[in-house]
Amino acid sequence: MRVTEMVFFISCLTMLGWFLFVIYGGVGLSALPLGFIRSYYGRPQIRSPNALKKAGAEIKAHTQELLELSNEVTTAREEAVDAVGFWNKRKSKKQLAALAKKLRTGHDTLKEVFEVYEFEKDMENTNPLWFIGSCWLGMLMLVVSMLWIAHM
């Protein structure tokens, strides 16, 4: 049985797409419901003005720490460029990668905390049903994911 080039190309792309769906579909089955449920537990709370000031000061301190860490990343990058020898370059690049990962993680954490802080500062304009609906949607999606996995 002879197959044209176009049919062969389409079948290869179909196999590649199916392979990627199998790999990344499983990540979405667990990550999406847990993300919705996590957003409910990280929802903004009603705080007193003093607690808001304290949270703002903590955010400011965390921002200063991240700025210092970004300066360390800059110096580590310069050291990695100036390193001589294979092992020294490898060591410098490994240190740079660790510092960059720490900076990204700190940035993501600060971003989440700041978003919650902004909601808490303007609590009268925040709809609490959004977070409750997010929790229910996450639970529903978790049940559907479990049923889908059990069905396979």
Q: Are 103 and 77 in contact (CB under 8 A)?
A: no
Closest to 56 (Cα-Cα) out of 118, 149, 126: 118
> Mean of the pLDDT values across residues 122-130?
81
> Mean of the pLDDT values across residues 31-37?
86
Both tokens of 43, joined, read 């929802």
* pLDDT more than 90, % of the chain: 36
Closest to 113 (Cα-Cα) out of 73, 60, 36: 60
Give residue 78's pLDDT.
Answer: 86
Q: What is the pLDDT of residues 44-89, one digit of tens each?
A: 888 888 988 999 999 999 999 999 999 999 988 888 888 888 888 8
Q: Are 80 and 61 in contact (CB under 8 A)?
A: no
Give residue 105's pLDDT.
Answer: 94
| Global pTM value | 0.63
Return the ∠ at Cα 66 (arms to 64 and 113), rounded to 5°.
Answer: 90
